[in-house]
Amino acid sequence: MPQLKLYLKIISITYFLEDTNLSITADIVEKIIKDNHIFNNVVLVLKLRVIKALLKSNMFIIWFNIWDVQSGSRAKGLVNRCFNMSNYIATI
């Protein structure tokens, strides 16, 4: 079945994870995503991109690409879903 490459983003993330004192990196976020059940059927296309929301802000946006079927069912299952990232609740 043909597949599409879709772009999604995770919002409401601060630069430091409180319980670990680690700064957000693509590798840390990818590990969290792989361990979370809402991403079970999701295949990442490329490495995640962590981008600062505003120049003087400590909030970041994480962009990621997934493979999806033409109906977009995997993306629909993720949009507006929340999950825990350290002590924060992230929204897709």
pLDDT at 9: 92
For range 67-91, the mean pLDDT: 86
Cα distance from N-terminal residue to C-terminal residue, the chain = 26
Are 44 and 30 spatial neighbours (Cβ–Cβ below 8 Å)? yes
- Picking from 75, 73, 77, the residue whose alpha carbon sits closest to that of residue 65 is 75
- Picking from 26, 51, 44, 37, the residue whose alpha carbon sits closest to that of residue 84 is 37
pLDDT at 92: 92
- Picking from 89, 74, 77, the residue whose alpha carbon sits closest to that of residue 6 is 74
pLDDT tens digit sequence for 19-73: 666 778 888 888 888 888 999 888 888 899 988 888 887 888 999 999 888 888 8
pLDDT at 17: 65
| Distance from C-alpha of 39 to C-alpha of 56, rounded to nearest angstrom | 31
Are 33 and 25 spatial neighbours (Cβ–Cβ below 8 Å)? no
